[in-house]
Amino acid sequence: MNSQNPINNTIETVNEKKGPDNRKTWILAIFAMVCTIISFIYRYQSGSSDAATNLSKSQSVFAYTLDEVNKVLDFQLKGWNDANIDVFMSGYIKDSSVRFITSKKVKTSWQEITDSYKKGYPDKDAMGKLTFHRDEIRWVNESAYIAQVIGRWEVIQKNTPTHDTLSGRFSLIFVGTPEGPKIQIDHTW
């Protein structure tokens, strides 16, 4: 495995454990929900404690459908598999609210996430072929247009000396933007 890559390090850590670790899964799920709640509070707080009032006052709520979320994921896959990280990264919101959470670090800017991907996957061979398995796509808050995707990812690197297959899980929180739905929080392990 490529020990320089933070995703590989996470996968190696997960693979070292024997059998299912239900406690870890529950902790990760709770952590994802806390992130969702914090995101909601951060985004819609305008001095009132009533979230519904804040939502109706907000000018930053942009409507989208769950089908559009699927299209963002499809577009990301195409970008990745065409060895174009910039296209892949177009699925993320490009503001200070974006978070990329792994077991090793929380990245807090679009550029930091992009730079990390470009360093860890410098060419088409390293990027391999990415697939997503979408286990659940649902609204966290439909009236606020906050959605969640829970799934699994897999990268097959056939053209590397070790022919690695990397895999893991993810939880994505999508929000509406003028350009359509974008990932605000990516929790990948």
Q: In this predicted structure, what is the pLDDT of residue 158? A: 84
Residues 15-51 have pLDDT tens digits of 444 445 566 655 655 666 565 566 555 555 444 344 4
Predicted TM-score (pTM) of the model is 0.70
Q: In this predicted structure, what is the pLDDT of residue 3? A: 46
Residues 129-156 have pLDDT tens digits of 999 999 999 999 999 999 999 999 999 9
For residue 175, give the nearest of 79, 91, 101 by alpha carbon.
Answer: 91
Burial pattern 110-134, b for ≥16 Cβ within 10 A else e, equals beebbebbeebbeeeebbbebebee
What would the mean pLDDT of 85-104 be, rounded to a whole number?
97
Q: Which domains are assigned to the chain? A: 6-188 (3.10.450.50)
